[in-house]
Amino acid sequence: SVLSSSSSSSHVLQETLQDRVGEIEQVLGRCSEKQVQTMDAIESRLEQLEGRIGSSERLTIPGLEEVQARMSTCASAQASFESHLGSLRRRFDEFEPLAEQ
């Protein structure tokens, strides 16, 4: 019957959407894990650079300028990470209502 066919199509569509949302969640999870690892590496490097700042200040101004340039690079990488993570969150928020249907 038409009603049974429509109900079956609706059920298949819902399962397909749930599968897609599940895949998106997995991708977001992997991306988030990778970003956390990247952030940890950036923070570790930043701590190393902060330690070098103290040494550079005592030794030479050119060394300090190099450290400051590297810290700027780390800050830029962190801003890029936060922007990317925000984008991923917005995408996930767009798919969430589809899964609830």
Burial of 12 (C-beta count, 10 Å sphere; 0-12/13-18/19+): exposed
Contact 42, 74 (CB under 8 A): yes
> For the whole model, what pTM was predicted?
0.40
* Residues 14-44: tens digit of each pLDDT: 888 899 999 999 999 998 999 989 999 999 9
Q: How many CA atoms does the CB half-sphere of 47 hold within 13 Å?
A: 5
Distance between CA 39 and CA 78 in Å, rounded? 7
Q: Distances from the Cα of 29 to the Cαs of 54, 64, 89, in angstroms?
A: 38, 38, 11
